[in-house]
């Protein structure tokens, strides 16, 4: 008969279970030991090198891989969980640290007066027992282990420091209401347990015998009996054979099998061995399963069976609330050897003597959960290993990366068990989400509770994101307990084991360790309850404390996943030199390192691992992969050093490869090397596509018809939208962002494109921050948005900052020839082959002498990123054909916005969509010096988002300023009677103007923008109500009435136009208020229509079929925004679809690396010349476009050569020639931009 799954354990595996189950926060954090081989003299080289793929690949018993978990954790989960755990509700954990140990011998020991002075059960004083340990990293045992403090072995602890085991009780006697209100009870804790409780085994006779046996078993390391270089007898030996390795991938021998034949035969090698492994009575016996047959009676366990999962995590009179934020998990120096012994003595499982059966699914799940918890604790200790120490000069806890490497260098499977545990908890979170989403968080702190609710819901919403979906469904609890023969018994045994482990936590004598052990096990128990209880029981089965423990355990795993990478990087940042024992072999002029030390092997592993990762991700071709692997095995010294320092950062590793030894390259780039893509247009969409291709090792020809890069993207001022974790403070969530975008898009919305835009928003902003280096730290709420989700820099205009940084990143590839930038070049035609695929471009390039030069380029991919058509008012233009009534309306787009890319695409058969959808923005500044100029500067949504008020010529408000663009424009146009009736604008009607007014507090929310507009004369600062009325040319009483009504509406929280958010409301005393006022008018701003694309940026023909080789991103494409684009979505569209296109374009095989011979001849670097003083008179003499000096922050810069390259146009610089441009510069740019310019002198005003 087939042997069915049973929960059982042999001796060695029981030893494994010991270290796994209850070294939860002990300094003995080595994973379960392997059986030692006969020969212990052989030194094994670690076969595992953590960077860059320490724990990687699929996770057994789950349907995701490590990379997916890390992506979800980094992109969404970790930042939310970390913030959530700081809230009052989730940092307050109720725990009883005074519960007595259920294990007989220890209770008797305490009665004899050892360790705690004979006080019986341990109270909340610091733990005192510190047994010797077999673990190699534990300090030598003390003679009087009972009297050792819990931190006796903690490295470098100051003499006057508080013991590390001490628990900081926050708040004294001020305990939350839930302690007295019954909130602690764990679900069905009042139900009777499924297994009997422990009988009493105390007797005075046994006391003496047990004391003698315990003293006999204490290990002093065996130093008197062993060779000087031998391992102590109490050390944990290892065995590489898979049959005895508890972490072998087959799991044929692991933590939950029956105890060895010695138990059955009572065949012990010594009395102390029997004391450790033999016992007769138990506290929570597991149901015994006969060998065969094992048929359960037909029937099912009651639905309430799992309700008491957490019942053994007991609480009594010692229950108190602990602030988890004040008691982080860290190294306490506590030695938990006695806990191991306790598990052997008390955790009795079924004994059928069978050690040969492989682990079943349920056993593997429990094993991996416990291993994952153990791994997490080890990581916490490694991250917080060295305590603050005055004598060592440490102000804070510091990590021990070497300790981390020692624990995991040979055992990456332990790290994968951590990831497995994380996905089990996330699966439980998903199942409980309907209950948790509506769970009432109530501590008495209304604001803090609201924040906790928002954060928790944001976490629950993250499971619908593409980047997170897989990890929430990777584990399937329905696969457990499927065996029909003994499923009931299996469930009873499973819970019995969990109860045993939970009970023994009360034997931990370090208060900090006990705290974290009980919290984590309660979190695990809550997850198991959620997974196995029926859905309809969850709402009434979860207590407050269980929810707190559950979320904190998830956060613990999330933090641990990040700690793996952090500790890895810390380790390698301190190992900067190859082993001195490396042999240097010279062959001609070529030198290579033949590494013989362990570090050398590890660095080789790093190099091979990095190359493998680059190849697997498609970032290098096969030829380059072969070349690099060959150089790695030849120990190319430059490649070794690069791998050691950048092996875990693939982007930088790839970017720095061209700087190493030229022998790695065989061909390099040439002018005849056909590019992987030709990108037309250098706004954010084109630059995003270009940079992504370059970062993947591709080659690009970038074409721009203007003389400077940046396009209209350079003018963007409001920000870029993204639904990111940090927005959760303001209640934002993905579905809300999607709904706002769809609402703005109206009937023409394309859900598949909107979903692509929204779901990739967070990654887009993160890429701009991390890869491009843009500060996007400020959040704002624009019109049409339900939440704050628009990101912008703390300094400067968002468009200018992004364009400056991204073009600089692209230009770093010019030297290697990977990118060729062609400005003053207009593409006139797309080249196609016989099958209709686009294979290149033709065009003209204006030379320096003003002549046109014909160009013809080939490439298998052409990317159109040429923008819209809002500035082309010529007869027959797209504007004339589709929206003739808007032909006289001013526009914010540059004069170059003439729809060139649409013309190129349609000539190749591309379809077009939504061409009549041209967005009119409600607020373009009217320059009082040139009011009729058709080109306007945008007054972005930010000006209204911070509190700007719109008023008509009668001094009245007329709309919700935070409404969508289309809504506000409709209200503006509605002042015209004909439009009010027909809803169609008459081309001959004069374009109306309005006043945009900001209070002083509103202006502070957009200070950089306000300063910029003040400098340009677009805003005027006026004092008091009288000054504002005078500027508006209206009676004071009229303006006052409108502002007073606005103040009343703000106080009520709603106005006549359903505005409910009131920022920057003018102060009560209007006479002393400072106002900033300017004139605005509706302007053409964006073209929603364009080429038809799919969600991958492929251009489609009129039959909705892909045109091979043709791609589009940004305003040139249509359909993404529907009827009306939501503010802040333009830069987002450019980044998202530019990135999608840049990542999908195939990179053809070529040698990636090119020799980069820096500092030929080895000459010394010239010392910078000392700056001379430049007076006011000298500065003013350099005031032309051809001789342009500008003073910024006290330094003088010669910007003559930069005038034509300035993305915003030359005027912004030339108007400052010979002057102090500090204020104007600060209003638009961050100071980091000046890093690319060398000052020519120090300004000394005379």
- For the annotated catalytic residues, the residue numbers are 921, 944
Q: Which helix (H) or strand (E) holds 845?
A: strand 838-846
The first and second tokens of residue 291, run together, are: 């060998």
Residue with tokens 């924040």, as numbered in its chain: 451
The first and second tokens of residue 211, run together, are: 């004391």
- Number of neighbours of residue 870 by Cβ within 10 angstroms: 30
CA angle at 533 for the pair 528 and 536, rounded to the nearest 5°: 140
Q: Which helix (H) or strand (E) holds 924?
A: strand 918-925
> Helices (DSSP H) in 222-282: which residue ranges?
261-265, 271-277
Angle separating helix axes 412-437 and 361-383, nearest 10 degrees = 100
Instruction: In whole angstroms, give the CA distance from residue 1121 to residue 750.
Output: 8
Beta bridge partners of 386: 398
Per-residue CA distances from 16 to 7, 257, 449, 622, 799 (Å): 15, 11, 43, 44, 58
Instruction: In whole angstroms, give the CA distance from residue 981 to residue 1076.
Output: 34
Written as one string, the DSSP assignment of 39-89 is: ---PPPPP----TTTSS-SB-TTSSSBHHHHHHHIIIIIHHHHHHHTTSHH
Beta bridge partners of 546: none
Q: Is the distance from CB of 783 to CB of 964 less than 8 angstroms?
A: yes
Determine the 3-state secondary structure of 465 from DSSP: coil
Pairing assessment for the beta strands 1106-1112 and 1117-1118 based on DSSP bridges: unpaired
Residue ranges of E strands in 288-351: 319-323
Quote the radius of gyration of the chain (alpha carbons, Å): 35
Residue 440: which residues within 8 A CB-CB, separation 6 or more? none
Instruction: In whole angstroms, give the CA distance from residue 1106 to residue 1087.
Output: 23
Residue with tokens 């706004």, as numbered in its chain: 683
Q: Is the distance from CB of 7 to CB of 30 less than 8 angstroms?
A: no
Report the candidate in 1200, 1183, 1186 with the shortest Cα–Cα distance to residue 1240. Answer: 1200
Q: Which helix (H) or strand (E) holds 490?
A: helix 487-504
What 3 state SS string does 328-357 have? CCCCCCCCCHHHHHHHHHHCCCECCCCCCC
Instruction: In whole angstroms, give the CA distance from residue 1150 to residue 665.
Output: 10
The dihedral region occupied by 1114, where left means phi > 0, alpha psi between -120 and 50, and beta the remainder, is: left
Instruction: In whole angstroms, give the CA distance from residue 624 to residue 658.
Output: 12
Residue 640: which residues within 8 A CB-CB, separation 6 or more? 578, 593, 595, 603, 604, 607, 632
Determine the 3-state secondary structure of 627 from DSSP: helix
Instruction: In whole angstroms, give the CA distance from residue 965 to residue 1129.
Output: 12
Q: Which helix (H) or strand (E) holds 1109?
A: strand 1106-1112
Instruction: In whole angstroms, give the CA distance from residue 1119 to residue 611.
Output: 40
- Number of neighbours of residue 1053 by Cβ within 10 angstroms: 10
DSSP 8-state class, residue 697: T
Report the candidate in 263, 291, 290, 289 with the shortest Cα–Cα distance to residue 277. Answer: 263
Per-residue CA distances from 900 to 288, 671, 1119 (Å): 80, 27, 18
The answer to whether the peptide bond before residue 1200 is cis (omega within 30 degrees of 0) is no
Instruction: In whole angstroms, give the CA distance from residue 88 to residue 46.
Output: 44
């Amino acid at each position: 008969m087939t042997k069915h799954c049973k929960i059982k354990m042999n001796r060695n595996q029981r030893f494994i279970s010991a270290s796994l189950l209850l070294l939860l926060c002990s300094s003995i954090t080595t994973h379960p030991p392997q059986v030692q081989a006969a020969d212990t003299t052989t030194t094994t080289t670690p076969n595992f090198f953590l960077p860059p793929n320490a724990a990687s690949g699929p996770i057994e018993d789950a349907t995701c891989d490590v990379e997916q978990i890390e992506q979800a954790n980094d992109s969404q989960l970790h930042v939310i969980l970390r913030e959530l755990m700081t809230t009052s509700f989730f940092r307050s954990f109720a725990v009883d640290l005074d519960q007595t140990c259920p294990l007989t011998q220890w209770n008797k020991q305490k009665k004899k007066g050892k360790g705690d002075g004979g006080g019986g059960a341990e109270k909340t004083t610091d733990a005192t027992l510190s047994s010797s340990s077999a673990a190699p990293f534990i300090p030598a045992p003390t003679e009087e282990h009972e009297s050792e403090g819990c931190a006796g072995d903690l490295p470098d602890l100051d003499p006057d420091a508080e013991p590390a085991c001490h628990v900081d009780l926050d708040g004294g006697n001020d305990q939350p209401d839930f302690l007295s209100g019954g909130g602690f009870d764990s679900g069905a804790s009042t139900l009777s347990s499924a297994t009997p409780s422990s009988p009493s085994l105390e007797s005075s006779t046994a006391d003496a015998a047990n004391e003698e046996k315990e003293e006999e078993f204490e290990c002093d390391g065996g130093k008197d009996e062993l060779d000087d270089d031998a391992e102590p007898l109490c050390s944990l030996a290892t065995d590489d054979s898979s049959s005895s390795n508890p972490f072998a991938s087959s799991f044929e021998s692991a933590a939950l099998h029956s105890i060895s034949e010695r138990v059955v035969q009572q065949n012990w090698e010594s009395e102390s061995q029997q004391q450790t492994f033999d016992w007769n009575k138990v506290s929570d016996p597991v149901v015994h399963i006969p060998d065969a047959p094992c048929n359960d009676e037909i029937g099912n366990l009651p639905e309430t069976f799992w309700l008491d999962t957490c019942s053994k995590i007991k609480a009594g009179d010692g229950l108190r609330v602990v602030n988890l934020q004040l008691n982080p998990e860290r190294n306490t120096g506590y030695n938990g050897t006695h806990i191991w012994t306790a598990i052997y003595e008390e955790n009795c499982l079924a004994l059928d003597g069978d050690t040969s059966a492989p682990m079943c699914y349920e056993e593997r799940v429990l094993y991996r959960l416990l291993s994952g918890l153990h791994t997490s604790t080890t990581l916490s200790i490694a991250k917080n290993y060295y305590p603050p120490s005055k004598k060592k000069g440490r102000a804070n806890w510091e990590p021990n990366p070497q300790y981390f490497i020692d624990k995991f260098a040979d055992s990456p499977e332990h790290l994968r068990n951590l990831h497995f545990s994380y996905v089990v908890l996330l699966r439980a979170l998903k199942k409980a989400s309907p209950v948790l989403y509506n769970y009432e968080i109530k501590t008495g702190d209304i604001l803090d509770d609201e924040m906790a609710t928002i954060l928790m819901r944001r976490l629950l919403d993250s499971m619908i994101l593409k980047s997170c979906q897989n990890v929430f469904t990777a584990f399937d609890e329905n696969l457990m307990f499927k065996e029909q023969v003994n499923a009931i018994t299996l469930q009873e045994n499973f819970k019995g084991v969990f109860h045993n482990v939970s009970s023994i936590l009360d034997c931990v004598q370090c208060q900090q360790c006990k705290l974290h052990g009980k919290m984590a096990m309660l979190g695990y128990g809550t997850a198991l309850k959620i997974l196995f209880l029926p859905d309809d029981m969850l709402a009434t089965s979860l207590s407050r404390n269980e929810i707190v423990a559950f979320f904190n355990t998830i956060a613990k795993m999330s933090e641990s996943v990040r700690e793996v990478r952090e500790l890895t990087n810390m380790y390698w940042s301190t190992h900067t030199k190859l082993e001195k024992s490396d042999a240097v072999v010279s062959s001609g002029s070529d030198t290579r390192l033949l590494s013989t030390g362990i570090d050398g092997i590890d660095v080789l592993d790093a190099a091979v691992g990095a190359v493998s990762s680059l190849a697997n991700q498609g970032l290098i071709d096969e030829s380059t992969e072969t070349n690099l692997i060959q150089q790695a095995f030849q120990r190319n010294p430059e490649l070794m050093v690069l791998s050691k320092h950048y092996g875990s950062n693939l982007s930088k590793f790839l970017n720095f490869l061209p700087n190493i030894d030229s022998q790695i390259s065989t061909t390099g780039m040439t002018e005849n090397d056909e590019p992987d893509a030709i990108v037309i247009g250098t706004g954010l969409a084109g630059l995003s596509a270009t940079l992504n291709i370059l970062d993947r090792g591709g080659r690009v020809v970038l074409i721009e018809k203007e003389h400077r890069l940046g396009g209209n993207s350079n003018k963007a001022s409001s920000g870029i939208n993204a639904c990111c974790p940090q927005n959760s403070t303001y209640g934002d969530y993905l579905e809300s962002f999607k709904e706002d975008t769809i609402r703005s898009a109206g009937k023409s919305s394309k859900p598949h494109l909107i979903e692509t835009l929204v779901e990739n928003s967070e990654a887009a902003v993160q890429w701009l921050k991390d890869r491009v280096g843009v500060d996007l730290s400020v959040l704002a709420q624009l019109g049409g948005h339900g939440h704050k989700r628009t990101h912008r820099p703390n300094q400067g205009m968002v468009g200018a900052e992004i364009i400056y940084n991204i073009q600089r990143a692209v230009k770093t590839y010019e030297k290697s020839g990977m990118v060729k930038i062609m400005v003053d070049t207009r593409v006139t035609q797309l080249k196609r082959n016989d099958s209709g695929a686009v294979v290149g471009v033709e065009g003209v390039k204006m030379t320096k002498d003003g002549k046109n030069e014909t160009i013809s380029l080939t490439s298998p991919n052409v990317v159109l990123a040429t923008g819209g058509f809002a500035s082309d008012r010529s007869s027959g233009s797209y504007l004339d054909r589709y929206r003739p009534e808007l032909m006289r309306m001013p526009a914010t787009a540059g004069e170059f916005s003439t729809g060139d890319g649409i013309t190129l695409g349609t000539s190749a058969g591309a379809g077009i969509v939504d061409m009549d959808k041209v967005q009119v923005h409600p607020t373009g500044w009217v320059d009082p010096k040139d009011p009729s100029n058709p080109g306007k500067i945008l007054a972005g949504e930010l000006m209204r988002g911070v509190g700007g008020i719109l008023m008509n010529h009668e001094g009245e408000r007329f709309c919700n300023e935070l409404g969508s663009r289309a809504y506000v424009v409709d209200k503006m146009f509605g002042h015209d009677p004909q439009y009010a009736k027909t809803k169609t604008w008459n081309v001959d009607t004069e374009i109306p103007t309005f006043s945009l007014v900001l209070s002083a507090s509103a202006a502070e929310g957009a200070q950089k923008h306000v300063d910029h507009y003040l400098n340009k004369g677009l805003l005027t600062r006026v004092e008091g109500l009288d000054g504002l009325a005078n500027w508006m040319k209206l009676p004071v009483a009229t303006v006052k009435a409108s502002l007073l009504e606005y103040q009343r509406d703000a106080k009520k929280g709603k106005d006549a136009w359903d505005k409910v958010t009131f920022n920057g409301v003018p102060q009560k005393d209007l006479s002393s208020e400072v106002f900033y006022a300017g004139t605005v008018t509706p302007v053409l701003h964006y073209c929603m229509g364009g080429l038809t694309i799919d969600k991958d940026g492929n251009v489609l023909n009129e039959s909705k079929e892909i045109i091979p080789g043709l791609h589009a991103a940004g305003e040139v494409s249509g359909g993404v925004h529907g009827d009306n684009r939501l503010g802040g979505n333009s830069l987002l569209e450019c980044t998202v679809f530019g990135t999608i296109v840049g990542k999908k374009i195939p990179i053809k095989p070529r040698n990636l690396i090119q020799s980069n011979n820096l500092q030929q001849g080895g000459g010394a670097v010239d010392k910078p010349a000392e700056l001379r003083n430049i007076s006011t008179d000298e500065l003013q003499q350099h005031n032309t476009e051809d001789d342009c000096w500008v003073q910024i922050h006290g330094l003088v810069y010669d910007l003559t050569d930069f005038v034509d390259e300035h993305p915003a146009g030359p005027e912004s610089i030339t108007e400052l020639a010979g002057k102090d441009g500090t204020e104007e510069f600060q209003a638009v740019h961050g100071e980091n931009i000046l890093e690319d310019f060398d000052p020519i002198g120090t300004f000394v005003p005379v």
